Structure 1
């Protein structure tokens, strides 16, 4: 019997609503409970509560600070910053850390969060008929079981389908043995059947704000087909585990699954249901527009209740369900002192927030991925490109400060800016040492060239930044966990999944160039300049389309994915799926830890084939009742 150790037969549940703070109706109401027990699943209330838990559990992964590290550090998007520790060095493969089964929650969180959800989904599915659950709700449970298995198989390779009571059966007892299924078994026995059922049974529209719909299921089925096709093709000979032939049990080849991915994604585009693209990329991420109709799936939070937010609204840690991911990529802008005044203070606003300085974007992000900054609005709609004075909100009534070139700045003016275009005239010798910025004639703000950033001071990630409505004209509560939803899936991804499948040989109504250009045209439309903090009504769509290569390849698809989804937890999975990780992220360039260091150096990473799977967490292996040889065999090769 294939079994897996489960920490508890009860599943913790903190009574959470699907629509939090964003609407006055369509909220899932339930009685707060401390735990779920197996008997509870035999009641209609229990099954409904189990479904609510499946949504709530998303918070244990999405927005969790160290899942952000797991999915971004070590890629071509992010490297360790000045205040990094082994939670980041272990994932960078540059010699300062050592990724292993003992690396803690950076490798254990997907495992620990997914399996209780898988078992809960199985409990719902098994008891649904007895309690008269509608097929559409069963479809939601099947979606989540597939969703979590898809995350697991991408992260660790083959994982157990039997948690102790049989394959895909609800387990009601504590089991301390386990056997891993192969990757093809996980896809063909669990992920594909569950997602196909969800596509068939879940409605087009949302039963509640944020609930799974048919098109959400289509997107993840298309992504699963695409990922499995790459796995079957295995262009660079990356090893899998448990070891198994790269063959499909149903006799289909990679080309078949690329076509399935294309067809499913195009079906989602042509049958959007309640979803559509926002007119401007800026509107996808401006916090005042959260929970819009491009956002298909998210891990929700709320400002209205600390209980339902599941994280402190005033001073939060980074553990459990708190949304604190963006803190990791925020440099310590609070050291900016001008004229003896702390000019830029910690504020609960989208460009600021709590600075941890753990992860820094690499220079290639700005010189290659976001090389086009004038036509393409996605650079401006992704990063904090200017830090502006807010000393007045902290209670300092000084009307102006003397800044660069002896010029005066007032609250709201730029204090430090990152230059879109390289300027060799920047003089870094006159900044006084505490800012790291230089001067150029005629500007009152200190400036930094993007190809001279360091691990200490760099553009923050505006798109995921803090947002509160209770600042009352002051700095607010920047140390509280974020109350914004963390994005998991967007309607825009359907275009890039279909385009990637087309690059790999799938055919249909749209070419890869057609699909990419829908998003590139949108990226050319501006309504607001975030860096300059002013309206900018400008349409560069035609120029963006004209600049698209005639022939699209996988590198271009990956670059477009980075421009659309930078910093949102996609990148490691994208590079692993396409087996481009070492090629695109094997080295990176950035300056050192000092704010005044503007002399970049190249760092080389030692990314080995076995790193394409994360290690099985030590806690799982230690808890198993098995021989030392069996425990060793359970671990992915190359790890201790």
Structure 2
């Protein structure tokens, strides 16, 4: 398992100042610690802000944090090569989430140092004479971090040692957790409101935060807080607090605020250069990274190891590498046909480095993406066709004989996960080896195939949308073992439509023509527009938007909103937060079906999860509690119940 290392709130921190890949780069001298005097200079403000952008890499694209937001949901379970970091999160009896578990500790360790840096900028930047918009960036990040923390752990400390929301320069060994309403009312909402007011419409640097980004998080914070106040299923909170708002507002007020803020962000997005992409394929194809739909991302670059902050030739399997896509990539190089490995590991969006730590459930493939004809989102999310690339690995064969003795040449399909179950597929008997990695045979096809009902913990469609991409691979396989140099998506303009739709479902009054169904149909219509068949590897100009709209239910409920969320943002790392916010985790992810962990196991098994109410909050990292200079009773009271 990954060793647990905690950067506690007692540290004055911060990470070495680096930079993020962009056109205008903040190139600062690395520092091990920030001081008030440093933040009173323009260089100090810029250095602090650069560190705030940098810290996104330590969370987003970090494969273990990524796992904690996907494994154990209705999207994914543990894969054949999973260790306890992944099995713990599945809640299916193969592991247990503990206060010493690594994945849920990551937000705590990464967010508090960043919060302290943000407070340092906010308190001291006026002495540097910088524009209010720069201070607003720090306010955004402080709210961003507190929002992530309160969703993950419940109430968290607002005083890091020097006072509430004050910059702390001295290590302290005591801590008091604030309540959820205090965190929202004193930190998250005020900072975001100020950020909306002071941030520019257009980003200061490529990927920088703007009014639209701040409105996005303000809308999402309103939505999440409204659910918390309403608490429809009676999920406990901690520290214990009445489900009342200090400002006297109820859940319906905040659902309305979420709707109004989200639609305002949509209406004003073009001022910042934001717009929906014309097709779902365009959103995720790597050649179109950093497109107009991307509001916030953890950036990387292939042009400089300094600015990438990681090796460009080998991935460490740790932050700040972007290695999330490895987790949901199966070991396709195990395919062996004609004495060679026809699909070799490549730094290509369809392929990448296979870690087999996670696997999609059969229900995700068959039910979430039930429509694979009109809806382009299945094709734009997964790699389902694995094509021959052996010449790039200097294998000289001109062709090989695949299934049914039929010829395969480079570029042809070798192994395919079918869109729909075909009863004519025949598989090799169990125990007869895995020359074709468990793929079956269909008459007339040279490629080996697998039915959706037969995907397993070892062989399943890979996660194309997050796959690696490099422009420096030449005619070879490139650097498939390096961390991805692509930006990892954190927030997209498209989600604003679903935030607003969810608010309407919860009672917000919509404006004319912008009800829940109208908003969702904007995305569904886009999903029906094709320009390329990703897995067919061919141009496909087709407009199925009317069929998509016609298939949208007349009445939208929360389960449908969540299904659309999964189709749009499948395995991007936020599913656990969606299910926890809406208190639908146990209902929608309480069981799943998958085949076993060997290639020729094609027998689906239903697995039941035990999702107790205490799991709706992650544990406070044990290393943090052990470092506190408090009584045993106070330490025990600091921890979330059940851990």
Please name the residue that 2:544 is paired with: 540
Per-residue deviation, 1:429:
2.1
CA contact (8 A) 2:346 2:352 kept: yes
Per-residue deviation, 1:39:
3.2
Counterpart of 2:516 (choices 502, 512, 521) is 512
Per-residue deviation, 1:18:
5.0
Q: Name the CA distance, whole Å, in 2 between partners of 1:306 and 1:425.
A: 50
Q: Name the CA distance, whole Å, in 2 between partners of 1:129 and 1:27.
A: 23
Please name the residue that 1:46 is paired with: 44
CA contact (8 A) 2:456 2:601 kept: yes
Please name the residue that 2:169 is paired with: 172
Q: For each residue in 1:385-443, what CA deviation from the matched residue of structure 2 results, as whole angstroms up to 9, or x when unmatched?
A: 11111111100110100001110000111100011121000001289623111011111
CA contact (8 A) 1:347 1:475 kept: yes
CA contact (8 A) 2:428 2:438 kept: no
CA contact (8 A) 1:5 1:177 kept: no
* Paired residue secondary structure (1:588): strand
Relative to structure 1, is the Cα distance of residues 247 and 7 closer, same or farther in structure 2, using a 3 angstrom cutoff?
closer
Q: Name the CA distance, whole Å, in 1 between partners of 2:349 and 2:17.
A: 28
> Does residue 1:464 correspond to 2:466, yes or no?
yes
Per-residue deviation, 1:174:
0.4
Please name the residue that 2:291 is paired with: 292
> Does residue 1:580 correspond to 2:584, yes or no?
yes
Please name the residue that 1:433 is paired with: 434
CA contact (8 A) 1:5 1:175 kept: no
Q: For each residue in 1:262-302, what CA deviation from the matched residue of structure 2 results, as whole angstroms up to 9, or x when unmatched?
A: 00000011111210000010010100110011001000000
Per-residue deviation, 1:548:
0.3
Relative to structure 1, is the Cα distance of residues 5 and 384 closer, same or farther in structure 2, using a 3 angstrom cutoff?
closer
> Does residue 1:497 correspond to 2:496, yes or no?
no
Please name the residue that 1:238 is paired with: 235
Q: Name the CA distance, whole Å, in 2 between partners of 1:456 and 1:320.
A: 25
> Does residue 1:13 correspond to 2:16, yes or no?
yes
Per-residue deviation, 1:37:
3.5
Q: Name the CA distance, whole Å, in 2 between partners of 1:554 and 1:71.
A: 20
CA contact (8 A) 1:261 1:497 kept: yes
Q: Name the CA distance, whole Å, in 1 between partners of 2:204 and 2:89.
A: 40
Per-residue deviation, 1:32:
3.7
Number of equivalences: 630
Q: For each residue in 1:593-640, what CA deviation from the matched residue of structure 2 results, as whole angstroms up to 9, or x when unmatched?
A: 01111110001000000000000001110100000000000000000x
> Does residue 1:455 correspond to 2:457, yes or no?
yes
Task: List gaps (5 residues or longer) in structure 2.
Answer: 1-6
Please name the residue that 2:60 is paired with: 62
Please name the residue that 1:397 is paired with: 396
- Say which is worse superposed, 240-249 or 33-42, in terms of deviation: 33-42
Q: For each residue in 1:231-284, what CA deviation from the matched residue of structure 2 results, as whole angstroms up to 9, or x when unmatched?
A: 001000000000011111111110000000000000011111210000010010
CA contact (8 A) 1:18 1:211 kept: no
Q: For each residue in 1:445-481, what CA deviation from the matched residue of structure 2 results, as whole angstroms up to 9, or x when unmatched?
A: 0010011111000000000001011111111110011
Task: List gaps (5 residues or longer) in structure 1.
Answer: none
TM-score normalised by structure 2 residue count: 0.97
Per-residue deviation, 1:7:
4.7
Per-residue deviation, 1:36:
2.7
* Paired residue secondary structure (2:489): strand
Q: Name the CA distance, whole Å, in 2 between partners of 1:250 and 1:14.
A: 38
CA contact (8 A) 1:121 1:141 kept: yes
Q: Name the CA distance, whole Å, in 2 between partners of 1:6 and 1:243.
A: 21
Q: Name the CA distance, whole Å, in 2 between partners of 1:428 and 1:7.
A: 57
Cα RMSD between the aligned structures?
Answer: 1.2
Q: Name the CA distance, whole Å, in 2 between partners of 1:330 and 1:9.
A: 38
Per-residue deviation, 1:42:
2.4
Q: Name the CA distance, whole Å, in 1 between partners of 2:541 and 2:17.
A: 45
Please name the residue that 2:3 is paired with: none
CA contact (8 A) 2:10 2:160 kept: no
Q: Name the CA distance, whole Å, in 1 between partners of 2:315 and 2:419.
A: 34
